[in-house]
């Protein structure tokens, strides 16, 4: 049996690498009890914000067996999506909307799942075993499982770090009822480094290895359903979908290489705010067809673009902002009010405010008007 498992593992390594995966790791399909305990502490402090689905699936997340009792082995595969430049350069392009590196190309769920299903099917045929595949869409704690399998360690920014790919890794997992010998876990190599904690624009880390999602720009621009809280708007800068700061400054990225999967390659330049402000829902869906950016939906995306517009200092965008003061959704109107307050002289803002306030039916937007006028006193 050991010889068969060894032969199967060798085949798995060769086939996965040939299919474009960066590395292959194996562990038994269990997680330490501390993983579930830490999740409960996270939820008890409401650090998950609007992500109620985390609480809804908390018990299932404790162990892979909660989803599939027959799971014996977890095969964790990594995919490198390393950029060809320093993503920090993009946040200084204030006339453009910065999209997180992972979302600049095709949706990784679709790209990886296709490869993963093909590999899992071949594995099942070769081993006569049952398999299930996962790519960040099920209540499976993939990062702790990946660390246990030796793919890397969860850094102080809570993401996986690899000694060969830095922080630029996607994960895919195959659960199987077949036996494969487990790899050794990877140890933590963060040491005394705190670069990821110190760089965070919104101070989202409660402590090393502990994230308050409610303060995280990735959460605020992707998951959060309401208005962007005022205290974070300036810190968001031109980030319209996600944030890479804590990943980009990781010293282990010096070992990272550029992604070899062409589908992850994004545009050479980020999209102009002037163009994004003019997208209606249909144009938004077309512009970001096949991209993870569509996950935010047009309304929240436009909300984010207006925050970036307010931070741009570009008064040429004022006419485009004015259009959104009459938008049907209060989240867009509210952010248009704030963006306008950052771009126009106070005398002009006061002159136009009365007409809009008189017709405003949403309390949150009315408060937004009151706040920007108060701030200007």
Residues classed as catalytic: 136
Q: Is the dihedral of CA 118, 121, 123, 125 positive or negative?
A: negative
Q: Are 349 and 341 in contact (CB under 8 A)?
A: yes
Contact 295, 76 (CB under 8 A): no
Closest CA to 321 of 307, 306, 341: 306
CB atoms < 10 A from the CB of 295, how many?
15
Measured between alpha carbons, how far is 324 from 347 in angstroms, rounded to an integer? Answer: 20
CB atoms near residue 238 (< 10 Å) = 23
Residue 270 token pair: 């980020």
What the block records as the tokens of 311 is 């931070």
Among all chains, which residue has been given the structure tokens 């704030």? 338
| Cα–Cα distances in angstroms (integers) from residue 144 to residues 30, 32, 149, 173, 377, in the given order | 10, 9, 9, 12, 51
Closest CA to 12 of 250, 181, 187: 181
d(CA 14, CA 340): 56
Asked if 218 and 242 touch (Cβ cutoff 8 Å), the reply is yes
**Can you tell me the distance from the alpha carbon of 298 to that of 364, in angstroms, rounded to the nearest whole number?**
20
Give burial (CB, 10 Å; 0-12/13-18/19+) of 335.
Answer: buried
Yes or no: say if 273 and 317 are a contact pair by the CB < 8 Å rule.
Answer: yes
Closest by CA to 246, choosing from 195, 207, 206, is 195
Is residue 80 within 8 A of residue 260, CB to CB? The reply is yes
Check if the beta carbon of residue 171 is closer than 8 Å to that of residue 21: no
Classified as helix, coil or strand, 272 is strand
């Amino acid at each position: 049996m050991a010889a068969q498992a060894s032969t199967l593992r060798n085949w798995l390594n060769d086939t996965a690498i040939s299919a474009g995966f960066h590395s292959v790791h194996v562990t038994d399909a269990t997680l330490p009890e501390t993983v579930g305990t830490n999740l409960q502490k996270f939820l008890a402090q409401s650090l998950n914000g609007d992500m109620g689905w985390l609480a809804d699936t908390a018990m299932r997340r404790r162990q892979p067996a909660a989803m599939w009792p027959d799971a014996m082995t977890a095969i964790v595969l990594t995919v490198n999506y390393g950029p060809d430049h320093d993503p920090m350069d993009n946040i200084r392009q204030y006339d453009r909307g910065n999209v997180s590196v992972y979302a600049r190309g095709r949706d990784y769920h679709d790209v990886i799942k296709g490869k993963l299903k093909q590999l899992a099917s071949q594995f099942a045929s070769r081993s006569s075993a049952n398999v299930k595949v996962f790519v960040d869409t099920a209540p499976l704690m993939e990062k702790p499982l990946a660390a246990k399998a030796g793919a890397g360690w969860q850094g102080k920014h809570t993401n996986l770090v690899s000694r060969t790919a830095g922080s630029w890794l996607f994960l895919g997992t195959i659960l199987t009822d077949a036996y494969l010998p487990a790899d050794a876990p990877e140890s933590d190599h963060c040491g005394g480094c705190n670069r990821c904690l110190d760089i965070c624009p919104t101070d989202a880390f409660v402590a090393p290895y502990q994230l308050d999602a409610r303060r995280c720009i990735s959460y605020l621009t992707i998951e959060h359903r309401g208005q962007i809280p005022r205290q974070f708007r300036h810190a968001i800068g031109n980030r319209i979908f996600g944030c890479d700061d804590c990943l980009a400054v990781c010293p282990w990225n010096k070992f990272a290489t550029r992604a070899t999967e062409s589908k992850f390659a994004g545009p050479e330049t980020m999209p102009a705010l002037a163009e994004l402000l003019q997208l209606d829902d249909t144009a938004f869906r077309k512009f970001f067809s096949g991209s993870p950016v569509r996950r935010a939906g047009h309304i929240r995306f436009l909300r984010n673009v207006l925050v970036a517009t307010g931070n741009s200092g570009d008064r040429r965008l004022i006419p485009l902002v004015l259009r959104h003061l009459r938008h049907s959704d209060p989240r867009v109107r509210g952010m248009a009010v704030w963006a306008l307050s950052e771009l126009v002289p106070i005398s002009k803002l006061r002159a136009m405010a009365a007409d809009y306030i008189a017709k405003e039916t949403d309390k949150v937007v009315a408060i937004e008007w009151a706040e920007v006028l108060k701030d200007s006193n």
